[in-house]
Amino acid sequence: MNKGVHVAAQEDAEKAYTSGERFFLVTAERDVLHFLSSKEDVSLAAIVPDASRYVREMTQYGLVGMAMRKVRSLGIVNLLRLLKPVLRSGLKIKKKDMRVLVPLLAFVEYLELRKCSLEIMFLHYHLTDMALATGNRVLLENYLKLSVKNVRLGLMTKNLGLLDKRLGEWGLNVNTVLAPFQLSGYGMRPTQKDCEVIIKKGKRDYYGFGKVVDVEREEKYAQQIGLKEWFVSK
């Protein structure tokens, strides 16, 4: 089992890099990405799209306005790359179909993240969990079908039990999952025991994240239950 670090701010990323961390879990935050893209020995797992920022921007500019701002911030090359998926789902974008818009926003962030050494892209837990709750199989399916080169697509959830149940019901094949894992059981839903059973079955590669005090003990626990990788939140 390897260990990575989950950072939200550039300052945290810098500190973690200085202390020897080389595997980062990030959102597509401009400053963080700018710093990490300058480091050749760093690899990334990203949480996309940056849901809380979109919610804030959506509140202010509306859905289409927010999307247009995002598109404008891309360079011409990335805009051309975006053209194909946009044309393919043109009418659905106009109709504000979230099953198309969410994967599209994730793809936009992928274009931004390409400059870094991106290994995995996890769909943000706000969106994954909302889709799981409302039975929105198509949204997750569309996300998992994104055309990304050399990047694994996974789901981030705060409800691992619900995810396991729904994916089972839907027959949806997801190989990479990120969820909270802590020795104390915090965030392991519905129960710590249920989550342990799920990962021990080994159907998928499970990645964990969480704030911890005693890294050594947590690492031992993560190893014991069979986590693939574990991100310590800063």
Partner 1 sequence: MVDRRRSENMVRKSNLILVTGATGFIGQVVVRTLLGRGKKIRCFVRDAQRTEALFSDVEIVTGDMKNKASIENAVSGVSAVVHLAAFTSEKESTAEESMAVNVDGMKLLVEACESQAVKRLVIVSSQSTKRERQGNYGLTKKLADDVVRKSTLDWTIVQPTLVYGPGQKGLFAKLMRLAETLPVFPVIGSGDYKMQPVYVDDVADALVAVLNNNNNNNNTIHKTYDLAGATRLSFKELLQTMLREMQQQKKIVSVPYWACSLGISILSLVTSKLPITKDNLLGLVQETTVDLEPARRDFGFKPRSFVEGIRKTIWGVDPDNVVKVGIIGLGKMGLVHASVLSALSGVKITALFDVNASVRGSVYSLGIKAPFFTSLDDFLGQPLDAVIVAVPPAFTASIAEKCAAHGLAMFIEKPLANSLEQACKIQEIVLRHNVVAAVGYMYPYRSLVQKAKEILDAGVLGKINSFEGSAFVSQVMARKKGWRYDKKTAGGGCVALHGSHLLSEIYFLLGMPLRVDGKLYFPYSAVEDKAFVTLVYPEMVRGTVKVSWSETGYRSLTLGLTITGENGTLQLDEDTVTLDLKSKKKGYSVGKTTIRREDLPTFNLEIGGEGYAEELNAFINAVRQKGKVLVGVREGYNIQRMIEAIYNSHAQQREVEL
Please report where in the chains the tokens 């800063």 appear, as a residue. 234
Query: Using CB under 8 A, which of the segments 40-48, 59-67, 71-79, 112-120 binds partner 1?
Result: 59-67
CB of 52 to partner 1, least distance (A): 6
Between CA 82 and CA 107 the distance in angstroms is 8
Between CA 16 and CA 77 the distance in angstroms is 32
CB of 55 to partner 1, least distance (A): 6
Contact call for residue 64 and partner 1 (CB under 8 A): no
- Give me the helix-helix angle, 125-134 and 160-170, nearest 10°: 50
Q: Site for partner 1 (CB under 8 A): which residue of 53, 114, 152, 228?
A: 53
Sorted by sequence, the CB contacts under 8 Å of residue 158 that are 6+ apart come out as: 125, 129, 179, 180, 187, 189
The tokens for 49 are 């799209």
DSSP string for 35-87: HHHT-TT-EEEEEES-HHHHHHHHHHHHHHHHHHHHHHTS-HHHHHHHHHHHH
Size of the site for partner 1 (CB under 8 A): 55
Contact call for residue 213 and partner 1 (CB under 8 A): yes
Between CA 203 and CA 179 the distance in angstroms is 14
Q: Site for partner 1 (CB under 8 A): which residue of 5, 109, 123, 136?
A: 136
Contact call for residue 126 and partner 1 (CB under 8 A): yes
Contact call for residue 201 and partner 1 (CB under 8 A): yes
Judged by CB under 8 A, the chain residues 102 through 121 that form the site for partner 1 are: none
The tokens for 109 are 């962030």
Q: Site for partner 1 (CB under 8 A): which residue of 30, 34, 145, 211?
A: 211
Contact call for residue 168 and partner 1 (CB under 8 A): yes
Contact call for residue 158 and partner 1 (CB under 8 A): yes
Give the number of residues written for the chain: 234
Q: Site for partner 1 (CB under 8 A): which residue of 2, 60, 223, 224?
A: 60
Contact call for residue 190 and partner 1 (CB under 8 A): yes
Residues that bind partner 1 (CB under 8 A): 8-9, 52-53, 55-56, 58-60, 63, 95-101, 126, 129-137, 139, 158-159, 161-162, 167-174, 182, 184-191, 201, 203, 210-213
